[in-house]
């Protein structure tokens, strides 16, 4: 518009077909979106998609895992039906920590007390820390990746050699830390050993958690719940972050800490996927 860029649509093309994907889609990240000016209008976004479909009419464009509050979501939903949706969990941070803790269910509050009592009864040395992603050493990063792969292997999929290479080299969650100013990491240690970590990305007044893992040998002490609780207390005291997004997955601990469901959606733009009204226009 007037030779000024108002929206950037980062895409990568499959080497085997005419399929295009949003950058980050196939690098293991939970949400994808465009880069655009804050004052961009819906008509401008729609015009960009119309130009894309006109210039590359024989191609298919995949917009996977788009949040409902994304500026492109209503446009995509208007011209194409979602082909998939995923459940996500977030926590709205309102008031102070006492307000937050009081809003939890009786069982959730008791779970926190039980976890803390177990730590005290076992005379474990429990410590938490928060650091900028840029300040993470290579040794600590490798330790976090190893813990994440161990958790992945025991709960979700069989991890192989190539998975290790991917997460140490290409994964946007881990590899972005050293290069971005808006990354931070929360860590929990038990007796000096890393028991849980949470990698976070700041996006305005929300904090996204693309990577979280616990050491199963400490599961008796509920390290995931304790770490999230520590992070929430820190964020409420800081007062900047209003939404704490634990992203995809409906693990029980997310609801124990007060999480609420929301969804992200996947769309495909191609000749055969557009709604009749979009094709007519």
Q: Counting every residue, how long is the chain?
A: 281
User: Residue 107: pLDDT above 80?
Assistant: yes
- In the chain, the N- to C-terminal Cα span, in Å, equals 21
CA-only gyration radius of the chain, Å = 21
Q: d(Cα 78, Cα 45) in Å, to the nearest integer?
A: 12
**Structural tokens at position 67:** 């949040």
Non-local (6+) Cβ contacts of 107 within 8 A are: 256
Lowest-confidence region among 29-33, 194-198, 208-212: 29-33
Select the more confidently predicted residue: 26 or 104: 104
d(CA 250, CA 259): 9
pLDDT at 92: 95
The answer to whether 90 and 260 have CB atoms below 8 angstroms apart is yes
Q: Is 18 within 8 Å of 269 (Cβ atoms)?
A: no
**Residues forming beta bridges with residue 14, ordered by sequence position:** none
Mean pLDDT to the nearest integer, 31-54 = 89
167, 157 in Cβ contact below 8 A? no
Which residues 6+ apart lie within 8 Å of 144 measured at CB? Answer: 136, 174, 185, 194, 197, 199, 211, 213
Q: Which pTM value belongs to this model?
A: 0.86
Position 101 scores a pLDDT of 94
Average pLDDT over residues 2-13: 84
- Inter-CA distances, 239 with 92, 93, 205, 227, Å: 12, 9, 9, 18
The pLDDT, as a whole number, for residue 280 is 46
DSSP classification of residue 19: E
CA–CA distance, 98 with 204 (Å, rounded to integer): 24
Least confidently predicted of 1-10, 97-106, 212-221, 256-265: 1-10
Beta bridge partners of 19: 60
- Following DSSP, what letter does each residue of 165-179 receive, concatenated? HHHHHT-HHHHTTTT
Residue bearing tokens 């808006």: 182
The per-residue pLDDT for 262 is: 95
Residue 277 pLDDT class (50, 70, 90 cuts): very low
With beta carbons less than 8 A apart as the criterion, state whether 221 and 115 touch.
Answer: yes
Tokens of 191: 């007796």
pLDDT, residue 124, reads 94
């Amino acid at each position: 518009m007037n030779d000024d860029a108002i929206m950037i649509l980062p895409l990568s093309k499959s080497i085997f077909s005419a399929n295009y994907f949003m950058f980050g889609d196939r690098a293991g990240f939970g949400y994808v979106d465009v880069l655009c000016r804050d004052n961009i209008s819906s008509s401008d976004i729609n015009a960009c998609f119309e130009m894309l479909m006109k210039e590359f009419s024989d191609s298919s464009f995949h917009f996977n895992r788009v949040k409902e509050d994304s500026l492109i979501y209503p446009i995509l939903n208007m011209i194409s039906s979602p082909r998939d949706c995923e459940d996500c969990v977030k926590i709205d941070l309102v008031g102070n920590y006492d307000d937050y803790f009081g809003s939890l269910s009786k069982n959730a509050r008791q779970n926190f007390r039980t976890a803390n009592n177990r730590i005290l009864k076992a005379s474990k040395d429990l410590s938490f820390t928060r650091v900028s992603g840029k300040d993470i050493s290579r040794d600590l990063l490798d330790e976090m990746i190893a813990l994440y792969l161990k958790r992945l292997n025991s709960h979700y999929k069989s991890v192989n050699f190539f998975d290790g290479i991917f997460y140490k080299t290409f994964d946007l969650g881990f590899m972005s830390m050293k290069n971005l100013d808006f990354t931070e990491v929360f860590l929990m240690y038990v007796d000096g050993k890393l028991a849980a970590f949470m990698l976070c990305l700041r996006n305005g007044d929300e904090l996204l958690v693309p990577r979280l893992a616990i050491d199963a040998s400490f599961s008796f002490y509920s390290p995931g719940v304790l770490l999230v609780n520590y992070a929430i207390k820190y964020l409420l005291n800081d007062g900047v972050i209003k939404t704490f997004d634990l992203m995809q997955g409906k693990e029980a601990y997310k609801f124990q800490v007060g999480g609420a469901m929301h969804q992200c959606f996947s769309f495909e733009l191609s000749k055969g996927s557009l709604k009749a009204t979009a094709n007519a226009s």
